Chains A and B, each alone.
Chain A
Amino acid sequence: MTDQKNLQAALESALAHATGSPVWIENLAIIAGGASQETWRLDLCMDNGGHAGAMPLILRRPLGGAIYDSSLDLRAEDRVHRAAFAAGAAVPPPFRLLDDLLGAPALLVERLEGESIGRKLVREPRFAAARAMLPAQMGAALAAIHSVNLERSELWGALPAPAPGQTPAQTRLAQIEAELDSIAEPHPALELCLRWLRRNEPPPPDKPVLVHGDFRVGNLLVSPEQGLVGVIDWEFAHIGDYAEDLTWGLIREWRFGVVALRLGGIGQPEPFFEAYARASGRQVDPARVAYWELLANVWWAIGCLNQARRHLRGEQANIEFVSLGRRAAEMELEALGQMLSVARST
């Protein structure tokens, strides 16, 4: 962990320079959050001509390594975040990107009040009203994210995108194959799924969209009264198939133990899909959903194996990461079951 006093001094100096006015920082504290980055909360205090005020902010800085090879650096994440904000998606307002804070870039966004911890959101009674609102709110937020104009916001080139001549699904499957090879451990269940996914791809989408890449309960800030206040954690954003974002939040892993509620343990997918279809004009095809949900389980199995390897390679000693290596089998069993049920229904 970064030394707090060093970080505070460096941040005060960088922000005084960036804003052109004297600033100081209060209440700097590290908080629970993303796996490949450090997340801090702080209040930025400014005194410009008697208008003293504190701005609540969140600061993120990179740690060593990443879950997947394709995760974004903070500069690209900042660009995506700004584009989604401009498109009217519920995201924390962007504040500043610092190119060099103690030798690494740092991203500052406004801090919205909300709970993101999945285990709390699916269980605590105070979020009952929020849970009822969330499916439709998630659908609307996702439609806004997918409405970002990729050309105008200059995201082509800044983000991972489908390989030339390949569909988003084919590109993702090639990534899975490469990740499996680098993990260097036989996983026949994943190989069977990969092969099935290659042979049963649905028609590609009319056009690729800005995909959040980690759209699920756990990466949503939720207030008990208003429901969704902000979509966070943009490090896996890329250009791809809209169905990926519609299905990632459905897999068992992101239901936080409330498995009967298929949308993140908080509701059913139908109102989420309906709200998305209303706002985006895209009808949600069940076969496409089944395909991408299977792919999501395979992708998270790979994510688990990779997280464990970050620890095993000595990049980052972390008991949570290393424990995931023994959890991949859960996703493998889930994926095998889904593959069988899809094969039977067709």
Chain B
Amino acid sequence: MQDRPTADELTDAVSQFLLSELAPSLSDPRLRFRTLIAANLMAIVTRELRAGDAPLRDEWRSLAALLGHHEPPPAAVAELRTGLDALGRELCARIRAGDADSGPWAEAAHAYAESAVTARLQIANPRFLERVGG
């Protein structure tokens, strides 16, 4: 257990520093642009840390259900990630084989793909979702 600040508090502080203090002080536009990118990446890390493992477990549940698997998600995060990768590959192989060309399973596969991309964007760029949705 580390003392405070927590990891997400640290990345948030770095993001704010890059955005509010460093970027405005830079006269080289390319360096300023890259500093803003760095601030944004720190904000992504902050959101990812705050979300914890929950998005991975949610993704596991909907992906396993789509593929007809019934095992619960692994407890360890490393196994969860490896398992998700394997399930994702299985889904991709089935799509390439034509299983999602039409019919009810195709609709379920589309719904899953959209929800998985949306879940990624909630971490990577929630403002994009607001703009698309609104």
Contacts and interface: CB of A to CB of B under 8 A. Distances in A.
B124 A188 contact: no
A194 B96 CA distance: 8
B132 A188 contact: no
A186 interface: yes
B110 A336 contact: yes
Contact of B117 (A194, A199, A323, A333): A333
The interface size bin for chain B is: 35 or more
**Main SS of the interface on chain B?**
helix
Interface string A242-256: 000000000000000
B37 interface: yes
Contacts of A185: 85, 88
A259 interface: yes
Interface string A308-346: 000000000001101100110110111011001000000
Contact of A192 (B40, B113, B128): B113
Contact of A189 (B29, B30, B113, B124): B113
Most chain A beta carbons < 10 A, residue from B29, B101, B112, B113: B113
B121 A329 contact: yes
A154 interface: no
A204 to B, nearest CB: 22
Given A195-B95, A320-B37, A333-B118, A186 B88 contact: yes
B92 A186 contact: yes
Most chain B beta carbons < 10 A, residue from A177, A185, A189: A189
Interface string B28-61: 0110011001101100100000000000000000
A320 B32 CA distance: 12
B45 to A, nearest CB: 10
Interface residues of A, number: 27
B96 A336 contact: no
A74 B58 CA distance: 48
Given A186-B88, A319-B34, A323-B40, A192 B109 contact: yes
Contact of A32 (B29, B98, B110, B124): B29
B16 interface: no
Given A191-B96, A336-B117, A259 B131 contact: yes
A186 B100 contact: no
Contact of B88 (A188, A199, A329): A188
Given A319-B34, A326-B124, A330-B128, A189 B40 contact: no
Nearest to B44: A326
**Main SS of the interface on chain A?**
helix
A96 interface: no
A186 B98 contact: no
A188 B91 contact: yes
Interface in A255-306: 259
Contacts of B131: 259
A336 B113 CA distance: 8
A333 B109 CA distance: 14
Contacts of A326: 41, 44, 120, 124-125
A308 to B, nearest CB: 11
A336 B131 CA distance: 16
Contact of A330 (B88, B91, B125): B125
A170 to B, nearest CB: 15
A192 B95 contact: yes
Contacts of A320: 33-34, 37
A188 B95 CA distance: 8
Nearest to B34: A319
B9 interface: no
6 contacts: A188-B88, A188-B95, A191-B95, A195-B96, A326-B44, A334-B132
